[in-house]
């Protein structure tokens, strides 16, 4: 009996300490250590159980029962506390990885077409609807297509070296899309009815000239093509591009590859002719060159000038975009500042 009391007192103390340690364990790792201390092979409770053999036989059942009950109780409490700690850990992990599903998503900006592309597409649409095909030619050209075949011989002032970017002897960046007139006539027999938009290059750079710029060329060759048809096509194009009220006029001009030649003006889209800063008071805006294909050009390329006539024109696409979208400086078109480009949505 005495022994039993001692064991019970010892057990009582161990049990109370265990309760305290379990409650104090604030992490699963701490709890694991508490579990080892009280229930493991070398634990105090197991040491008591091992003493069972030295307990008088009549006391053994009560002794064993007391220790086993304490052991079971500690095990239960540890498990209970473990669940509590697991839930606490789970909640804190959940809180740390919380995402706010009501937050607005990241907007990816939508791009817009460049004003030159917009003008280019509209120009193509208008001429396609008037029965023109679209032709293309290379930006890097030779003197034959850029000059000689266009009736511009070596001593001609238009071959002025200062304007043309030469890559090599007889290799240059085309100064005009008129090169495509020659390339098309080399390949196809009349009737021909094409436009050819593309890049051109000249050594000049200011508010109204860029070293790289864009033209749209047109060439129509057939039996009985007249200047009147040229005028009507251009008038129709200008009305569709800029509006019904915008008139056109031709000023006599000179180009080596057309005869007669003219420059095309349109009524100032801003002041409609009364005079403003856009048209510099003249009431008119320059759009490009035009004329009847020079018989010399036909002859050089092997088309019979007695049988066929033709007209050609070349308009500035950048100029058209500037007038259409009210862009004051050509350089804006090529700086690609997104604040500028965003306005063409």
Q: How far is the CB of 280 from ligand PHE (least distance, A)?
A: 20
Concatenate the DSSP letters of all residues of 186-255 into one string.
HH-PSPEEEEEEEEEE-S--BTTB-SEEEEEEEEEEETT--HHHHHHHHHHHHHHHH-TT--EEEEEEEE
For the chain, the 3-state helix, strand and coil shares in percent, each to the nearest 5, are 45, 20, 35
Q: Which is nearer to ligand PHE, 25 or 192 (CB)?
A: 192
Q: How far is the CB of 156 from ligand PHE (least distance, A)?
A: 13
C-alpha distances (whole Å) from 170 to each of 148, 154, 155, 160, 179 are: 11, 12, 15, 14, 14
User: How many helices (H) does the chain have, and how many strands (E)?
Assistant: 12, 10
Q: How far is the CB of 227 from ligand PHE (least distance, A)?
A: 12
Q: How far is the CB of 318 from ligand PHE (least distance, A)?
A: 13
Q: Which is nearer to ligand PHE, 48 or 119 (CB)?
A: 119
Q: Which is nearer to ligand PHE, 31 or 315 (CB)?
A: 315
Q: Which is nearer to ligand PHE, 190 or 289 (CB)?
A: 289
Q: Which is nearer to ligand PHE, 115 or 291 (CB)?
A: 291
DSSP 3-state of 309? strand
Q: Which is nearer to ligand PHE, 78 or 297 (CB)?
A: 297
> Phi and psi (nearest 5°) for 218?
-135, 145
- Binding residues (CB under 6 A) for ligand PHE: these are 176, 178, 217, 255, 258, 288-291, 312-314
Q: Which is nearer to ligand PHE, 43 or 164 (CB)?
A: 164
The answer to whether residues 195 and 132 touch, using CB atoms and an 8 Å cutoff, is yes
Concatenate the DSSP letters of all residues of 117-182 into one string.
HHHHHHHHHHHHHTT-EE----SEE-HHHHTGGGT--TT-GGG-TTTS-EEETTEEE-S-TTHHHH
Q: How far is the CB of 261 from ligand PHE (least distance, A)?
A: 6
The answer to whether residues 178 and 312 touch, using CB atoms and an 8 Å cutoff, is yes
The answer to whether residues 330 and 208 touch, using CB atoms and an 8 Å cutoff, is yes
DSSP 3-state of 109? coil
Cα(177)–Cα(259) distance, integer angstroms:
18
Q: Which is nearer to ligand PHE, 190 or 288 (CB)?
A: 288
Cα(78)–Cα(91) distance, integer angstroms:
20
């Amino acid at each position: 009996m005495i022994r039993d009391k001692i064991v019970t007192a010892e057990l009582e103390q161990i049990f109370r300490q265990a309760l305290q340690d379990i409650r104090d364990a604030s992490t699963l790792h701490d709890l694991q250590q508490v579990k080892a201390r009280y229930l493991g092979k070398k634990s105090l409770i197991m040491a008591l159980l091992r003493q069972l053999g030295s307990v008088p036989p009549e006391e053994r059942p009560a002794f064993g029962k007391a220790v086993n009950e304490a052991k079971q109780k500690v095990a239960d409490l540890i498990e209970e506390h473990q669940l509590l700690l697991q839930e606490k850990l789970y909640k804190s992990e959940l809180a740390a990885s919380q995402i706010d599903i009501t937050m607005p998503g990241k907007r990816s900006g939508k791009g817009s077409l460049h004003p030159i592309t917009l003008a280019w597409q509209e120009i193509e649409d208008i001429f396609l609807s008037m029965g023109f095909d679209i032709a293309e030619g290379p930006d890097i050209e030779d003197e034959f297509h850029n000059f000689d075949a266009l009736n511009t011989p070596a001593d001609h002032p238009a071959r002025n070296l200062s304007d043309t970017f030469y890559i090599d002897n007889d290799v240059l960046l085309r100064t005009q899309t008129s090169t495509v007139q020659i390339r098309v006539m080399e390949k196809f027999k009349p009737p021909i009815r094409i436009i050819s938009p593309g890049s051109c290059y000249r050594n000049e750079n200011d508010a109204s000239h860029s070293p790289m710029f864009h033209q749209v060329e047109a060439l129509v060759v057939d039996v009985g093509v007249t200047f009147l048809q040229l005028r009507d096509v251009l008038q129709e194009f200008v009305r569709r591009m800029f509006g019904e009220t915008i008139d056109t006029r031709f000023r006599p001009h000179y180009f080596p590859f057309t005869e007669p030649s003219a420059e095309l003006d349109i009524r100032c889209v801003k002041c409609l002719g009364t005079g403003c800063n856009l048209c510099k008071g003249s009431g008119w805006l320059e759009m490009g060159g035009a004329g009847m294909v020079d018989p010399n050009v036909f002859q050089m390329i092997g088309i019979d000038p007695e049988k066929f006539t033709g007209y050609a024109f070349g308009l500035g696409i950048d100029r058209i975009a500037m007038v259409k979208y009210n862009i004051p400086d050509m350089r804006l078109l090529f700086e690609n500042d997104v604040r500028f480009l965003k306005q063409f949505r």
